[in-house]
Copies of this chain bind each other. A is one copy, B any other.
C-alpha cells in the first residue's frame, strides 16, 4: 500500500483504527502489545524509574536520525541518567491525517530498531489521528520504566564540591543537524544528530563507580542541564573552555547564529558527575563504548558561588547563562 494515507477515520476507534493498529503491529508488534489489553501487565520489583517525554521534532527525519529513534532514545536516556536499567516503554502516536502509511512504517521501523538496540520492550501503545495541518505528520509520546540497581543513588541533587564533571562526547550535534535540516542555517552542514540510547554506555559506570549525578543535555543543551544540577545540588560548576569537545561543524554553526555550543541540544550525550578521584576511571569506562569514545572531563563542582555555572577561559572566567529558549523550538 505505497500510496495509502492515514485518514481521520483511522482515529475513530472502529475497524479503520484496527487497520491502523495492524500496520503498527507489523512494525513494532510483540507478545505484550499483541495481547491488546487496556494495560500491559509487567513484573517489577524494587525501585522503579518512571519518565515521560513527548516528541514534536520538525522535520520528522533529519541527518543521523528521525522522530522514531529520537522518541525511544530520549526516554531510554532519561531512565539511564538516573542510574536505571530501561526495561519497558509505551508508544503513543498522534498522527496527522494524510501521513502516508509508507512513511509511518519507515518511522516505526526506526522505533523498533532503537528499542532493540536499547533492549527495551514496547509494552503498550495508543493511536490518535488529527486533521490535516495539525501535528506536522506525527507527534510521539513515550513513557519509560526502568529498574534501579541496588546501591545506585544518582540524582541531580547529589553533586558535591570537589566532584568532576565529564561529558560523554562531542556536543551540539543534534541541534545543528536539525537546524540544518530545516534550512535554518542558511547553508549546507555535514552535522549528523548524535541521537543514541545511552543505557549501554552508562550502566557499567553506575555498576562500578559511585556516580553522583547525571543528565542528558537535550533541550537547552549543556548549559540548561548544568544549571539544573547546580541548582538542585546547591553548588556551582566551573567549566574549562579548552577541554570542551566542540566539533568544527558545531563551532561554525554557533558562530554564524551568534549562539553558544553549550546551548545546543544533544540526544546522545550524558553529563556525568563523579567524585574527583574516580574521574579518570569514569572517562576510561566511557571511552570503551562506541558512544563514549570522546568522553572527557570538562569541569568541576565547587561550593556555591555567586554564579551557578561559569567557564574558565584564557581571558578569565565568564558567566554561562541559562538559555531562555527562543533559539530552538521543536528540536525534540
Asked whether, in the complex, the Cβ of B143 is within 8 Å of the Cβ of A325, the reply is: no
Given contacts A51-B40, A56-B130, A124-B50, contact A94 B139 (CB under 8 A): yes
Q: Which residues of B contact A8 (CB under 8 A)?
A: 326, 329
Which residue of chain B is the closest to A125 with respect to CB atoms?
B52
Q: Which residues of B contact A81 (CB under 8 A)?
A: 38-39
Asked whether, in the complex, the Cβ of B36 is within 8 Å of the Cβ of A41, the reply is: no
Determine how many copies of this chain the complex contains. Answer: 2
Q: Complex: how many Å from CA A88 to CA B144?
A: 13
Q: Which residues of B contact A156 (CB under 8 A)?
A: 36-38
Q: Which residues of B contact A301 (CB under 8 A)?
A: none
A288-332 vs B, CB cutoff 8 Å, 1 = contact: the mask equals 000000000000000000000000000000000011111111110
Q: Complex: how many Å from CA A155 to CA B220?
A: 44
List of 6 A-B pairs having minimum Cβ-Cβ separation, nearest first: A13-B219, A12-B325, A13-B220, A14-B325, A52-B90, A14-B323
Q: Chain A: residues with CB nearer than 8 A to chain B?
A: 8-18, 35-56, 77-79, 81-82, 84, 88, 90-94, 123-126, 128-131, 133-136, 139, 141, 143-146, 148, 155-157, 215-216, 218-221, 224, 228, 232, 263, 265, 322-331
* Known A11-B330, A51-B124; further 6 A-B contacts with Cβ < 8 A: A12-B324, A12-B328, A48-B48, A56-B130, A133-B133, A133-B134
